[in-house]
Structure 1
Amino acid sequence: MKSFKESATAFVLCIVELITGILLLLDPIRFTSTVIIGTGIVLIVLGLVQAGTYFRTDAETAALGQLLTKGLISVLAGVFCVMQWEWFLAAFPALTIVYEALILITGISKIQLSIDMIRLKNSRWSWAAVNAVLTLICAIVVLCNPFASTEVLWLFTGAVLVGVGIFDLVVAILRKKAKGEEPYEA
């Protein structure tokens, strides 16, 4: 069961990477603003639920949980996301650098995956190695930010997401096949 959960999680993450990359390639501003506003709406709803739970909970338990404070902060953060989504767009280049730093760390972990596959005598280790190298190169390019505009940076980030998502999916399937298991089945 654990293997199935890990496989399903890997598959879902690959699909999310692909979809996110495609949507960034199609219309980065609309996609990003929709995600920010959607996140804001979710924060507002969660904050209202927490505040409501605070008032429905007995006084001692409510005082210990700080639900009212957490709820009000969540509502304020949500309102900021909904009302000031443009701020996030202006900050996107900095956020992209944070994201690419995470991609760089992921690329480093993919190096270990490819070495693990070599040590486990998996003949398809080269796919994982290529995936690791491409991930590292793309992350380094974005961190160096040679782009003329933020929109080009977004398009490159979208392309990277699509490419990494495809490679991650292929590597996950090849790893499963090498183990003699059907990919993504219980």
Structure 2
Amino acid sequence: MERLKKFKTAFIIFSIFYIVLGFVLIARPETSARAICRVFGALILILGVIRVIRYFAGNDFADQFRFDLARGILAVMFGIFMLIAPNAVIVALPVLLGLAIIIDSVLRLQLSIDLKRLQYEKWWLGLVLALVTGVLGAMLLFNPFAGSVALTMYIGISLVIDGIVNIWALILLTKHFNNYSIW
């Protein structure tokens, strides 16, 4: 039960982050991508350093198999790369975000089918939203935009929509499953 509450909280925070990041990309497309890349690079670098320190500070045998050292070193390297070469990350960003949105959409598709199996009458809304966000993600993969400003704004719009749909789906699930006492 506690894990489920933590998952819901993390999911909401992640979705709100998507929405805020989307609005930032829409409002300031020409400067926000590089700045966001540097902020993320710094955060990933800090988290990597924390993982490495936690690895060497930990004495519990069970902690040794969480791969904190390896994950920490990789995070430090990726964080440094994002700080040094933000343009390279920006080039790959549409593909990475497109894949993340498509994966999210596939999960939402399964959720809507599960709701249909549970005889929830509005299951089709989840299906429609899964398809819409899937198309948004696919468009990011194929990048039909000529300019980087248009692409950045499209990424922002896609993130806002995906974040809102995620929160809506979580509210819907919570409301529907409260009757089953698993939430």
Post-superposition CA distance 1:116-165 (Å, at most 9, x none): 01111222312211221111111222223221212211111110111111
Amino acid corresponding to residue 175 of structure 1 in structure 2: L
Largest Rg, 1 or 2? 1
Within a 5 Å distance, the mapping from 1:81-96 to structure 2 comes to 81-88=82-89, 92-96=90-94
* 1:101 paired to 2:102: no
What is the aligned-residue identity percentage? 25
Report the CA distance between 1:106 and its aligned residue: 2.0
Report the CA distance between 1:96 and its aligned residue: 0.8
CA contact (8 A) 2:52 2:73 kept: yes
1:37 matched to which residue of 2? 38
Post-superposition CA distance 1:46-91 (Å, at most 9, x none): 67778999xx9xxxxxxxxxxxx99998767655543443443xxx
1:179 matched to which residue of 2? 177
- Structure 2, unpaired ranges of 5+: 58-69
Aligned length: 169
Measured on the aligned residues, the alpha-carbon RMSD in Å equals 3.4
CA contact (8 A) 1:48 1:72 kept: yes
Evaluate the alpha carbon distance shift between residue 127 and residue 43 of structure 1 in structure 2; reply closer, same or farther with a 3 A threshold: closer
1:13 matched to which residue of 2? 14
Evaluate the alpha carbon distance shift between residue 38 and residue 4 of structure 1 in structure 2; reply closer, same or farther with a 3 A threshold: same
Report the CA distance between 1:22 and its aligned residue: 0.7
Within a 5 Å distance, the mapping from 1:1-186 to structure 2 comes to 1-42=2-43, 78-88=79-89, 92-180=90-178
2: CA distance, partners of 1:105 / 1:83:
29
Post-superposition CA distance 1:8-60 (Å, at most 9, x none): 1221121111111111111134332223223443466567778999xx9xxxx
1:65 matched to which residue of 2? none
Question: Structure 1-normalised TM-score?
Answer: 0.72
Stretches of 4+ moved more than 4 A in 1?
42-53, 69-80
Question: Structure 2-normalised TM-score?
Answer: 0.73
2: CA distance, partners of 1:52 / 1:32:
30
Report the CA distance between 1:173 and its aligned residue: 0.6
Stretch deviating more after TM superposition (143-152 or 159-168): 143-152
Evaluate the alpha carbon distance shift between residue 132 and residue 21 of structure 1 in structure 2; reply closer, same or farther with a 3 A threshold: same
Amino acid corresponding to residue 154 of structure 2 in structure 1: F
CA contact (8 A) 2:101 2:162 kept: no
